[in-house]
Structure 1
Amino acid sequence: MNTRIYVLKFPKEVIDQPIISNLVKKYDLEFNILKATILLQQEGVMVLEFLGHKANVKKGIAYLNEMGVTVKSMAGNIHRDDEKCYQCGACTGICPTGALSLHRPDMAVLFDEAKCTACGLCVPVCPARAMEVSLNGNVDLAA
């Protein structure tokens, strides 16, 4: 399963279309709405976290583009500066995907980049400021 966060901008011409429900029905995607501003006769903006198989996410994004929706990836890369990190574990309690975890019995903080969605929740809770996020621009369909 693939999890990514995207910013969707809807042109006012498609605001009344069932675009998001089609992502569920046609492309078998699950989503969490993280933020939304949708008003009639105005451009709409949504921040969604998609969960689904990589191929379905690609197809869903292609569908959104066909509908005139601009899609940008919020996900980028999370980097941990191992020089700064003093293994306190504060980040492990906030990480929603389990990308940051404690290894017992030595209590080392492990970072599994494959599980990371670059949500950035770990960045502000890190007292050492060892976690950094870099955002991508446009969505990369190959990702």
Structure 2
Amino acid sequence: MAAKKVLLRFSSDRISQPIVYRLIKDFNLTFNILKAAIRPDDEGEMVLEIAGDLKNYKKGIAYLKESGVEVLDTAKKIIKEEERCYQCSACTGVCPSGAISIDRSTMLVSFNPEKCIVCELCVGTCPSRAMQVHIK
């Protein structure tokens, strides 16, 4: 079973179409919407974690591309630069996914990139700029 996070970009003419729904119906894939910003009469972006059989996953991704959706293999990710972090914990309060937490045994800020939904809230909150956007 394949499970991957992808960033989808929709043009304004694709927003009203049930493109993502077809991943379930036609390709037997499941998905979790990690982040979505869709504005009517504009473009939209979604970060999805898509899971299913590898063969169906590849077919589903091909379908998205054929439908005019830009598919990026989570082009952005958040990294924590440990040497810059001075453990103020400001980032822990804004993280909606629980990717950033305080390890109670050490009282150090811990970052789990697997839980990160790339919302970038921590980046703007971090006074030492230890939380950074990394573009592949």
Query: Could you tell me the TM-score, scaled by structure 2's length?
Result: 0.72
- Tell me, yes or no, if the aligned pair for 2:6 and 2:71 is still in contact at 8 Å: no
What pairs up with 1:47-62 in 2 under 5 angstroms? Answer: 47-53=45-51, 55=54, 58-62=58-62
User: Which position in structure 2 is the counterpart of 1:34?
Assistant: 36
* CA displacement at 1:85 relative to structure 2: 0.8
Greater helix content:
1
Q: Write the deviation string for residues 96-123 of structure 1: whole angstroms up to 9, x where unpaired.
A: 2322111113311112223333332210
Q: Which runs of 5+ in 1 are unaligned?
A: 137-143
What pairs up with 1:57-72 in 2 under 5 angstroms? Answer: 58-72=58-72
Tell me: CA distance 1:30–1:83, structure 2 relative to 1, closer, same or farther (3 Å). Answer: closer
User: Which position in structure 2 is the counterpart of 1:141?
Assistant: none
User: Which position in structure 2 is the counterpart of 1:88?
Assistant: 88
User: Which position in structure 2 is the counterpart of 1:114?
Assistant: 114
Tell me: CA distance 1:75–1:95, structure 2 relative to 1, closer, same or farther (3 Å). Answer: farther
- Please give the alpha-carbon distance, in whole angstroms, between the structure 2 residues aligned to 1:125 and 1:35: 20
Question: Which stretch has the larger CA shift, 51-60 or 80-89?
Answer: 51-60
Identity %: 38
Q: Which runs of 5+ in 2 are unaligned?
A: none
Runs of 4+ in 1 over 6 A off after TM superposition: none
User: Which position in structure 2 is the counterpart of 1:8?
Assistant: 9
SS where residue 128 of structure 2 aligns?
A: coil
Q: Write the deviation string for residues 25-65 of structure 1: whole angstroms up to 9, x where unpaired.
A: 332223266222454xxxx6211121332747654322201
| Matched letter for residue 91 of structure 1 | C
Count how many residue pairs are aligned between Structure 1 and Structure 2. Answer: 131
Question: Which stretch has the larger CA shift, 86-95 or 73-82?
Answer: 73-82
- Please give the alpha-carbon distance, in whole angstroms, between the structure 1 residues aligned to 2:20 and 2:11: 11
- Please say if 1:99 is aligned against 2:99: yes
Superposed CA RMSD in Å reads 3.1
* CA displacement at 1:127 relative to structure 2: 1.6
